[in-house]
C-alpha cells in the first residue's frame, strides 16, 4: 500500500492470532490487538485510495493547538516544495486517458 502498488486493501487483518498462539484476556497487556477494528473492516478488500507524497521543509510544519493550548494536529502549508503522486486509481487513469484522447480529437 505504501509504495502505491496495491489496488485494494487487504481482505483481513495483519495479525490473525496472538503472537503467543493463545488469546490474551489481560486488558493491561501490551500485546498487539488481534481483533479487527471498525475502520479495518470498512476498508477490507475495497479499492485503495489515491495518495500523494508531499515534500516540505521542516520550517513549513506548524503545530495547531485548541483553545486550551493542547496540540490537535499539524497545519500543512499550501505551498509544498514538491508533490509526488504515489498512487493513482485505475478509474482516474482511464478518465485521464479519455480526456487526452478527446483533446486530440478537438485539435
pLDDT one-digit tens code per residue, 2-23: 777 777 888 876 655 556 666 6
**φ and ψ at residue 52, rounded to 5 degrees:** -125, 155
Task: Output Rg (C-alpha) for the chain, integer angstroms.
Answer: 21
Q: Where are the alpha helices (DSSP H) in the chain?
A: 38-43, 90-106
Would the pTM of this model clear 0.85, i.e. be above it? no
The DSSP secondary-structure symbol of 59 reads G
Dump pLDDT digits (tens) for 58-88: 888 888 899 999 989 888 877 888 888 888 7
Q: What is the DSSP letter of 45?
A: T
Amino acid at each position: 500500500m505504501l509504495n502505491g502498488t496495491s489496488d485494494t486493501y487487504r481482505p483481513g487483518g495483519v495479525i490473525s492470532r496472538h503472537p503467543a498462539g493463545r488469546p490474551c484476556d489481560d486488558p493491561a497487556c501490551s500485546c498487539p490487538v488481534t481483533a479487527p477494528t471498525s475502520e479495518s473492516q470498512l476498508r477490507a478488500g475495497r479499492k485503495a485510495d489515491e495518495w500523494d507524497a508531499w515534500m516540505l521543509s521542516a520550517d513549513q510544519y506548524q503545530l495547531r493547538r485548541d483553545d486550551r493550548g493542547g496540540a490537535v494536529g499539524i497545519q500543512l502549508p499550501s505551498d509544498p516544495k514538491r508533490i509526488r503522486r504515489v498512487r493513482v486509481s485505475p478509474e482516474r487513469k482511464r478518465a485521464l486517458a479519455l480526456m487526452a484522447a478527446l483533446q486530440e480529437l478537438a485539435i
